[in-house]
Amino acid sequence: MKYLLGVDIGTSGARSAVLTEEGDFVKSAYTTHTYNIPNPGWAEQEADVYWESFCEVAKEAAEWVEEQNGELAGLSISGLTPDVLPINKKGEAIYPAILWLDRRGTDEDEWIRKNIGEEKVFELSANTVDPYYGLVELLWLKNKEPEIYKKAYKFLNVKDYVAYKVTGEITMDYTQAGCTGIGFDIRNKRWDPEMFNKLGLDIEKMPMLVECEQVIGHTQPEIEEATGLEPGIPVVAGAGDAMASMMAAGISEVGENVVALGTSAVWGFLGESDEFAKNMLVTPAVGYKDMYLTSAAPAFTGGVFKWMRDEIMKDVEDGAYDTMNEEAAKINPGADGLITLPYFAGERSPVWDARARGVVLGLSTDHTRAQLFRSGLEAVAFALLDSLKYIRESGTEISDDMVVTGGMAKSKLLREILANALNMNVIYIGGNVSAEVGVAYIAGRGVGIFDSYEVAKDKLEVIDKIEPDPEINEIYEDYYEKVYKKMHPALEEIFADNYDIRAKVDKIMEARK
């Protein structure tokens, strides 16, 4: 039997998924890694960490296929996005990968806004300007590490670096290019020479761009021992992790949408129009050449709840999340006036403020950790609602149904909060809805085993559907309109001053060591 292998290289680990040629999920493997924070607001990791994680999960999958007397007919890789990893002509990484969580490029962000302008960037790329985007990170590298920039032959992202190690081919798929932003011409799917010239960046240092389903090469003999992958397996370009997850959720029609709820949240809407919504994350759609994926992408949603677990429940060995959800469920909507702004790692859509930080508003003596837990969950809903308002204003077609996936979607309380805050039907789907499964479907399309992505939709099951409560929706609308949406505008200048003061203090204290 023929099998397909998908591997996702994530922020905190790597996963593999094996599918049959009928699209059935049959095997998975998982390994963990982490990232480094060498300075406040930074997030990076050595390239070898990702390669080792890939090798571990790929080898387990390949050995299982061999035990079944099967054949791997195709492989594809998804990964965290965006990120910037410089390599030399030998293909060696010469600097750690600068990750999507990293906010070090604030000076470069301001320079682009002032000298090029958000409108010019939006007209070309359908995206905005923020340190999140890969080309802002790359401009930081040129300005702050000029020797590294000069020595670099190409700038890859993590998953395409792994694909290069597997195939020897240097490419980047269109979804990763969309997240790289700034200099990507989204309508013509190319790097824009004029914008690169304005940025002062070398366009020849960027990878060749390819369709997500394109076969970019084959597994090389020299990686067989490390990965267990036989030589000659076709390797398909793949996609960013959130975009791959959406393919596993069977998104295929205009207006359909799905949100992946993890450390961050990415809520993708499939559409045909190139009248793009501002302040969102926009990429070409996987599998549909004339369609786009508009995504609301708040930076740190489930991450807030995880931070609460790590800091408040750190002495609880088992069942911490269950306890947090149980306690939060006993609290009224609005957490008795406790509103959390989830900007712990800055914010992406819709405010795009790298200097913003988390806020808990309304603390009083009658509050307990239970209100804090509920407020952490409600912060996910408010952050998504903040983007939904922008998307609706753009005229983007949106279904009444919101499909949810990811680790945070396991919380029924969160699903109820989402339904009531967003005034949408929240559909929790079962099956195997994850980036590694989605990218295995992409591999199947690339090598011609699957005719369409309908095969993914056919494998799903609806576990739960929650409809909104109109009365509770009014409560959340009040909190959103009168409190939440006013918090960032009121605090924006304070955030900037606080950020600058901390940076100055860090510099002074570092000099004293």
Q: What is the DSSP string of 287-307?
A: T-TT-EEEEE--SSSHHHHHH
Q: How far is Cα of residue 43 from the mean position of the Cα atoms in its chain? A: 14
Residue 273 has pLDDT above 80, yes or no: no
Which segments within 362-407 are labelled E, that is strand?
Answer: 401-405
Token pair, residue 156, equals 């890859």
Mean pLDDT across the stretch 219-229?
A: 97
Question: CATH 3.90.1150.50: does it fit domain 2-243?
Answer: no
Give the strand pairing for 425-430 and 401-405. parallel
Can you give the pTM of this predicted structure?
Answer: 0.86
Q: Which helix (H) or strand (E) holds 347?
A: none
Express each pLDDT in 145-178 by its tens digit: 999 999 999 999 999 999 999 999 999 999 999 9
Is-contact 242 205, C-beta < 8 A?
no
DSSP bridge partners of 7: 16, 77
Distance separating alpha carbons of residues 127 and 125, to the nearest angstrom: 5
Express each pLDDT in 388-438 by its tens digit: 988 888 777 888 999 998 789 999 999 999 999 999 999 998 777 889 999
pLDDT of amino acid 153: 98
Domain boundaries, the chain: 2-243, 298-429+469-513
Residue 452 has pLDDT above 80, yes or no: yes
Distance separating alpha carbons of residues 180 and 194, to the nearest angstrom: 16
pLDDT of amino acid 58: 98
DSSP bridge partners of 78: 8, 239
Q: What is the DSSP letter of 408?
A: G
Contacts of 337 (CB under 8 A, 6+ apart): 362, 364
Cα distances from 146 to residues 140, 142, 150, 201, in angstroms, run: 9, 5, 6, 12
pLDDT of amino acid 128: 94
Residue 483 has pLDDT above 90, yes or no: yes
Query: Amino acid identity of 472?
Result: I
Question: CATH 3.90.550.10: does it fit domain 298-429+469-513?
Answer: no
Residue 419, CA atoms < 13 Å, CB-side half-sphere: 21
Residue 146, number of CB atoms within 10 A of its CB: 10
pLDDT of amino acid 379: 97
Is-contact 177 237, C-beta < 8 A?
no
Is-contact 355 346, C-beta < 8 A?
yes
Is-contact 86 155, C-beta < 8 A?
yes
pLDDT tier, 312 (very low <50, low <70, confident <90, very high otherwise): very high
Mean pLDDT across the stretch 29-34?
A: 94
User: Residue 392: which region, alpha, beta or left (left: phi > 0; alpha: psi -120 to 50)?
Assistant: alpha
pLDDT of amino acid 458: 85
Residue 74, CA atoms < 13 Å, CB-side half-sphere: 26
